[in-house]
A = this chain, B = another copy of it.
Amino acid sequence: MKLATIRHAGRTTAALEVAGGYLPLPARDVGELVGHTDWQALVRETLNGHSAPDVIAREEATILNPVPNPRKVICCGLNYSDHILEMGRELPQYPTLFAKFADTLTDPDAEIVGGHSENVDWEAELAVIVGSTLRDATEEEAAAAIAGYTVANDISMRDWQRRTLQWFQGKAFDGTTPLGPVMVTPDEIDPEAGVEVICTLNGEEVQRGNTKTLVFSSAKLLSYISTFTVLRPGDVVLTGTPGGVGMGMVPPRFLKDGDELHTEIPGIGTLSNKFSARISTTV
């Protein structure tokens, strides 16, 4: 199934994608929904009990970031073999991890504002949404705890990322990582078998990778992370980006005011984000 967080008639709600639109679910967002012990049963009950007028027409809903309030957003860098080689590095023994905040995330069609940076770059990624609590979990336990998958773009301020040895400050600008448009459950999509991750800039394809070339699978990442910190329902893990980022081009290429970025994973959906070079002071 495909789950979204939508706004309709001034109200925000988790919703199930159904024929003709969205069926509201008893949770404010997908992150809160997957916090329910048996959220799949809750969705099925709502689906069985609904009548046609409950469905919100697609054109009347605004699609938001499915998980607006994760306690943890953890990202893996250097995870696609082609991107690792593009960056001039060797295949890693351990995942390279860094953190973002809930504030870093934004809606699937949000404007990305990056005025404090001269080197704003794209990173199309598969993101995993955690569905149950994980601590010191095996890979099998971690696989069973995946609530679903969504699309992310880990927009990166390369100048800030390279100011010091730690990437964090170039990766944690508020409202710069669009997420969505829906969370797709693992019965409908299998990143280990391979899904494509595509990024286009003003209609030109700049990235195309396949998750079957990931060095660390979603389950491996969740298991590894759970060794040092607990993961809870609604937490988000970004799995890394394939080759084709602007920094890797000769000469390097970065986002310009008005650029249109599309980030797509077939079977999940597309993020559509316009870039603005102005300075954001939104709180």
Which residues does A use to contact B, with CB under 8 Å? 71-72, 77-78, 92-99, 101-104, 116, 133, 135-136, 157, 160, 163-169, 172-174, 227-230, 279, 281-283
Contact = CB atoms under 8 A, between A and B. Distances in A.
B230 A283 contact: yes
Contact of A168 (B78, B92, B157, B168): B168
User: Chain A interface secondary structure, helix, strand, loop or mixed?
Assistant: loop
Given A164-B92, A164-B95, A169 B228 contact: yes
Contacts of A98: 98-99, 166, 168
A97 B166 contact: yes
Given A97-B164, A136-B281, A167-B166, A103 B174 contact: no
Nearest to A232: B283
A272 to B, nearest CB: 24
- How many monomers of this protein are in the complex? 2
B169 A97 contact: yes
A169 B281 CA distance: 30
B103 A168 contact: no
Contact of A165 (B102, B104, B160, B165): B165
A162 to B, nearest CB: 10
Nearest to A157: B228
B101 A160 contact: no
A228 to B, nearest CB: 5
A8 to B, nearest CB: 27
A230 B168 contact: no
B96 A99 contact: no
A167 B169 CA distance: 13
A160 B95 contact: no
B99 A174 contact: no
Contacts of A95: 164
